[in-house]
Amino acid sequence: MPSRSLNRLLWALALLGILYFGFKAQDTLDAYFIGVGSLSVREEPAQDTVYLTWRGRIDAPMEARLQEAFEKYKGSTRTFVLDLSSPGGAIDHGARVVRLLRQVRETHRVDTRVEAGKHCASMCVPVFLQGERRTAAADSRFMFHEVSFREELSDDEVAVPQRAKSSATDRLFARFFVPAGVSQSWITKVRAEMAGGNDVWLTGAELVDEQAGIVQKLD
């Protein structure tokens, strides 16, 4: 008959196995949602706040899902907090999401944040910049790069002259970053680091240290 100590050991090993496979399952779910995009909603009436969590590309159906949530809760809350975890996406769809958030800000407060271990890359950053209060974990990661041109059906990158890429990138910064109060000197610095097609990755803590004006406060 197994001893009590052995039983405890077996139970501990079983629990570790459950935790391990639980984390692996979560990793699989995260990878799935990063591809297709998913919005989860949590209402906190005591805080007069609705928390929206978007995981996935800045692409359809993001605008539609956010619009549905705003319509449902606009009469019962004053603040929306949008948590982002995204590899980026389409400029056109991102611009529609930005326009929607700006409309919501006319009547409600909109804050944005990126949680610990999450990332906000490429077109996710202009969406993040729509927050009146923009917070991020110290180890959250943000990515910046030059605008790329892609074939609509295959999503393959299209070769265009560097001058066209630079011009489109400058327009993107002027359209989304400057109105949000991002430092012009920081924009100049990161634009130089992007040159030649480089991806520039910075943590939330680094953005605060550099006084970029993107992350206003660390969580």
Task: Report pLDDT digits (tens) over 69-127.
Answer: 999 999 999 999 999 999 999 999 999 999 999 999 999 999 999 999 999 999 999 99
17/111 same-domain check: no
What pLDDT score does 154 carry? 43
Please indicate whether residue 3 or residue 194 has the higher confidence score (pLDDT). Answer: 194
Would you say residue 150 has pLDDT above 60? no
Q: Are 50 and 80 in contact (CB under 8 A)?
A: yes
66/7 same-domain check: no
26/51 same-domain check: no
Q: What is the pTM of this model?
A: 0.82
Instruction: Tell me which residue range forms the domain holding 2.
Output: 1-32
Residues 29-54 have pLDDT tens digits of: 444 444 579 999 999 999 999 999 99
Residues 160-183 have pLDDT tens digits of: 677 878 999 999 999 999 999 999
18/95 same-domain check: no
Would you say residue 24 has pLDDT above 80? no
69/9 same-domain check: no
How many C-beta neighbours within 10 Å does residue 91 have? 20
Query: How many domains does the chain fold into?
Result: 2
81/4 same-domain check: no
70/124 same-domain check: yes
179/77 same-domain check: yes
117/134 same-domain check: yes
Start-to-end CA span in the chain (Å): 52
Can you say whether the dihedral through the CA atoms of 184, 189, 195, 201 is positive or negative? negative
CATH number at residue 160: 3.90.226.10
d(CA 136, CA 56): 17
Task: Output the six-digit token pair for 140.
Answer: 């959250």
Q: What percent of the chain has pLDDT over 90?
A: 74
Mean pLDDT of the chain: 86
8/53 same-domain check: no
How many C-beta neighbours within 10 Å does residue 42 have? 11
Cβ-Cβ contacts under 8 Å for 149 (sequence gap 6 or more): 157, 158, 160, 164, 165, 168
Q: What is the DSSP letter of 163?
A: H
79/165 same-domain check: yes
78/120 same-domain check: yes
